Structure 1
Amino acid sequence: MRVVDALSPASASLLADAILALHVGIVAFVVFGQIGILIGAWRRWRWIRNFSFRAAHVALLLFIALQAWLGRLCPLTVWEQTLRARAGQDAYAESFVEHWLSRLIFFDAPGWAFVAAYTAFAALALACWRWAPPQRARPGE
């Protein structure tokens, strides 16, 4: 028996909403983090060189790009859809970003366009790694 099957529809709906909120937070971290890195490198902000922040940021972008290249949906999207189905709600078939981006700005594009966008965004993050490299904290800082 799958764990999802043991959930009540109301619990599944609540958990799906929590996963959606987490997903939105991750998207915000990736997008606004990249904006912060670009501006921060230009303005010489020290926080953008934080190694943990930068490593998490580039790792997420590489994971997102890899998932797109493999033609797979994000695990958060899959979990949310499974929970929405358990709750008796409609689920969407495309990726999280593709679905919500289409809804937010009425943008419709083929899947390859999103693969290209994810790849370009990951390449930008890697270029920033070289342009404004992160620094590990020194002992005592």
Structure 2
Amino acid sequence: MRLLTPASAGLLADALLALHVGVVAFVVLGTMAILVGGPLRWRWVRGFGFRVSHLVLMVFIALQAWLGRLCPLTVWEQALRNRAGQATYDASFIQHWLSRLIFFDAPWWTFVAAYTLLALLIAACWWRWPPLRRRRPA
């Protein structure tokens, strides 16, 4: 990180925060799409790649919470903000609004419970509307 100027570290931190928001959106909106699209027989919500990446990501998030660890994206972003001389979660426009969107002030156990329940819901969706593999032409 020594090669980064404070200005570029701040921009990279904003980019990581935007990526983090994208990950959260993928998990939340993906879950909603499966819950709606499964009963409506939307074929794309049963895509194997989508479902595997969705489930693996949520299990990773829940496991991190159970282990009491912060998300690696959060750790990297905070390190970049420190390098940029910025207070964590109180600097740029992007940082201010995106961090308010995905970070909440609540007891740790609520996150562990929420992530665990969401992982179990996603696993139940896997069973209820199993992913479909593409058949290769013979």
TM-score (norm 1): 0.86
Question: How do 1:47-126 residues align onto structure 2 when only pairs under 5 Å count?
Answer: 47-91=44-88, 100=99, 103-104=100-101, 108-126=105-123
C-alpha separation between the residues in 1 aligned to 2:122 and 2:104? Answer: 24
C-alpha separation between the residues in 2 aligned to 1:45 and 1:59? Answer: 21
C-alpha separation between the residues in 2 aligned to 1:132 and 1:105? Answer: 28
Q: How far did 1:108 drift?
A: 3.9
Q: How far did 1:123 drift?
A: 0.3
Q: Tell me: CA distance 1:104–1:50, structure 2 relative to 1, closer, same or farther (3 Å).
A: closer
Unmatched tracts of structure 1, length 5 or more: 93-98
Letter in 2 for 1:113: T
* 1:23-58 residue CA offsets vs partner (Å, 9 max, x unmatched): 111100000000000000111110011000000000
Name the count of aligned residue pairs. Answer: 129
% identity of equivalent residues: 66
Q: Is the 8 A contact 2:27 2:54 kept in 1?
A: yes
Unmatched tracts of structure 2, length 5 or more: 90-97
Q: Tell me: CA distance 1:11–1:104, structure 2 relative to 1, closer, same or farther (3 Å).
A: closer
TM-score (norm 2): 0.88
Give the structure 1 partner of residue 42 of structure 2. 45
Q: Tell me: CA distance 1:16–1:108, structure 2 relative to 1, closer, same or farther (3 Å).
A: closer
Q: Is the 8 A contact 2:37 2:45 kept in 1?
A: yes
C-alpha separation between the residues in 2 aligned to 1:105 and 1:48? Answer: 24
CA RMSD of aligned residues (A): 1.9
Give the structure 2 partner of residue 31 of structure 1. 28
Q: Tell me: CA distance 1:26–1:105, structure 2 relative to 1, closer, same or farther (3 Å).
A: closer
Letter in 1 for 2:132: Q
Q: How far did 1:6 drift?
A: 1.8
